[in-house]
Structure 1
Amino acid sequence: MIRLAGVGKTYEDGTVAVHELDLDVAAGELVVLVGPSGCGKSTTLKMINRLIEPTTGHIFIDGSDVTTVDPVHLRRGIGYVIQQIGLFPHQKILRNVMTVPLLYGESTATAKQRASELMDLVGLDPATYGERYPHELSGGQQQRVGVARALAADPPVLLMDEPFGAVDPVVRIRLQEEFLRLQRDLGKTVVLVTHDIDEAVKMGDRVAVFATGGRLAQFGTPAELLAHPADEFVEDFVGATRGLRRLTVTPIDRDHLEPLEGVTTGDLGSAIDVDATLEEALAAMLRDDKPVVGVKDGSQFVGVLTPAGIHRQLRESLR
């Protein structure tokens, strides 16, 4: 869906913001750009919808070079969510979400119906919140409105620049989970920028780690990134706790389950789904103060997972 080929941005004073970037994002994929401040990740995002023009290289969306199309037309087909949200303060919430469909020439009735559906989708009852003004909503609610407005034209591509950075940690986690649910339902092609490695490995199908000077240091799945950092910079950036972070991105492997036979009832606490992560398995053991956790596929038990099984699975993934 999106391909960057040799894309670079050098400013007039000689500052290199992005250095010869090659990057691809598959249709329906959520790719996260992460790195320290000033490494070019937001610049890269803005070059995709030509808020910033690249100095070198080409950017393709669905096979078309974006530098050859009208930038206003291009942006109307790309959803864009920013940390500051950018809602119109003088317009009520429902009208804010209706903005893009109305720009496309939709009737007021059609735009209103679409806006109401999207407010429902992001967890805001249009009857309750549609007639309020932005200042009457919390930061987290405003961020949800920003996502709904970005989706209003049903764009195939969604660009998100630090979308959850302006809210407190508890709300941020809820927004992340809500957006992941939306992404599973809608299957948009998403490029998301963050400086938070925890957010990157939680949200991304793949993660692009940017180094200072606009250099792409590594591009891979969260599991690959945590298990096999490409260089010292990436290893330092993902941090000393990358072993723990691997638990969050590693799904349970049936091959490391042990049979239920021989496990006493007293050793077994609550059961988790076979699609859960190793983090969820370990959390269940600690929560129930049990040495094993049962694993179910639907209503059927398929085995138990022990701390030794978790260790074996993590060790094998390093090979």
Structure 2
Amino acid sequence: MDGIEDPMIRLSGVSKTYADGTTAVHELDLEVRRGEMVTLVGPSGCGKSTTLKMINRLIEPTTGSIFIDGADVTDADPVKLRRGIGYVIQQVGLFPHQKILTNVMTVPLLYGESKSVARRRALELMELVGLEPDQHADRYPHQLSGGQRQRVGVARALAANPPVLLMDEPFGAVDPVVRGRLQEEFRRLQRDLGKTVVLVTHDIDEAVRMGDRVAVFAEGGRLAQYDVPAVVLGSPADDFVASFVGAARGLRRLAVTPIDPAHLEPLDGVRAGELGAAIDVGATLEDALALMMREDKPMVGVRRGAQFVGVLTPNGIHKALRASVNDA
């Protein structure tokens, strides 16, 4: 792993060994940049959730040091530490007998904010995560769908405006369609807010779609690979990683590789009828290939706003996939 200057989170030589001799995490060195989303992925029992819980000291490390924003938190007051870190779990953990607005207000009130300030903050956050306050503020958790409850959990975690957000299988309890929409919306939200996020998942597709970098854990709590999604998929570090990311890793790379104008061909000589629909330059290769197949065309036009910038062909897709690994 390359050195990172002034990371937001740094784990140095962190291990967790239980009394029966079981090693959950083995001598982990891991750094997370400010404003970065890192996903931890691996099979059950590989130590990814244990790692997450050691960051906010829900689980105490056996050895090693953990730094957040340059400060060693290993000996810090764990309650005070957790109040400065957002935490979202799969089960959400909402208070069932409190209304949604009250659930979101909980954290600001714990910080000593007045009820009026906490209420205003909660209403703002509900809108931010896509829950209309007029419709949802006075409802109870059991009256919401799984996806809506997960949004409330995210809003509550953001209520104290923490610089760091930890998420443990946050979208695992919702159906695939809602899950995909929540992933996209949270990724956009994270970029807009600039939060540093560590997200645990067992799903390699979620890991590579959500993460700026992906940490692949192997059994015994060993960090097998830590890199950008394109490299994890295109150049697995060992046989375990290759097996875990699967034989379809080439297709997965399409979803994490953006269209690059350098791989486009000029519009010169291309007849308008050959193009079909066009796609924005910010889309992924997966989006472009899907459009080609849907339109049954040998190429797709690429535009930046209203201006066409070139044509993407299957050969261009191949070049982009190769470059995504070589340039990372």
Instruction: Compute the TM-score of the two structures, normalised by the length of structure 1.
Output: 0.99
Q: 1:67 aligns to what SS in structure 2?
A: coil
Q: Does 1:252 align with 2:262?
A: no
**What residue is the counterpart of 1:211 in the other structure?**
218
Q: Does 1:46 align with 2:65?
A: no
Q: Give a deviation string over 1:206-235, Cα, whole Å, max 9, x none.
A: 000000000000000001101110000000
Given that 2:230 and 2:325 are in contact with CA atoms closer than 8 Å, whether structure 1 keeps it comes out as no
Q: Map 1:1-319; keep pairs closer than 5 Å.
A: 1-319=8-326
Q: CA RMSD in A?
A: 0.8
| 1:68 Cα deviation from its structure 2 partner | 2.0
| 1:262 Cα deviation from its structure 2 partner | 1.0
Q: 1:124 aligns to what SS in structure 2?
A: coil
| 1:316 Cα deviation from its structure 2 partner | 4.1
| 1:313 Cα deviation from its structure 2 partner | 2.3
Q: Give a deviation string over 1:169-190, Cα, whole Å, max 9, x none.
A: 1111011011011111101000
Q: Within 2, Cα distance between the matches of 1:191 and 1:316?
A: 27
Instruction: Say which is worse superposed, 306-315 or 136-145, in terms of deviation.
Output: 306-315
Amino acid in the other structure paired with 1:186: L
Q: 1:68 aligns to what SS in structure 2?
A: coil
Instruction: Compute the TM-score of the two structures, normalised by the length of structure 2.
Output: 0.96
Amino acid in the other structure paired with 1:279: E
Q: Within 2, Cα distance between the matches of 1:186 and 1:318?
A: 29
Amino acid in the other structure paired with 2:10: R
Q: Within 2, Cα distance between the matches of 1:158 and 1:309?
A: 37
Q: 2:12 aligns to what SS in structure 1?
A: strand
Q: Within 2, Cα distance between the matches of 1:169 and 1:317?
A: 28
Q: Give a deviation string over 1:116-162, Cα, whole Å, max 9, x none.
A: 00000000011110000000001110000000000000000000000
Q: 1:33 aligns to what SS in structure 2?
A: strand
Amino acid in the other structure paired with 2:155: A
Structure 1 stretches of 5 or more lacking a match? Answer: none
Q: Within 2, Cα distance between the matches of 1:42 and 1:282?
A: 35
**What residue is the counterpart of 2:5 in the other structure?**
none
Q: Within 2, Cα distance between the matches of 1:303 and 1:203?
A: 28
| 1:297 Cα deviation from its structure 2 partner | 1.5
Amino acid in the other structure paired with 1:207: V
Q: Within 2, Cα distance between the matches of 1:200 and 1:318?
A: 17
Amino acid in the other structure paired with 1:187: G
Q: 2:279 aligns to what SS in structure 1?
A: strand
| 1:317 Cα deviation from its structure 2 partner | 4.0
Structure 2 stretches of 5 or more lacking a match? Answer: 1-7
Instruction: Say which is worse superposed, 181-190 or 208-217, in terms of deviation.
Output: 181-190
Given that 2:39 and 2:210 are in contact with CA atoms closer than 8 Å, whether structure 1 keeps it comes out as yes
The count of aligned residue pairs is 319
Instruction: Say which is worse superposed, 236-245 or 301-310, in terms of deviation.
Output: 301-310
Amino acid in the other structure paired with 1:261: D
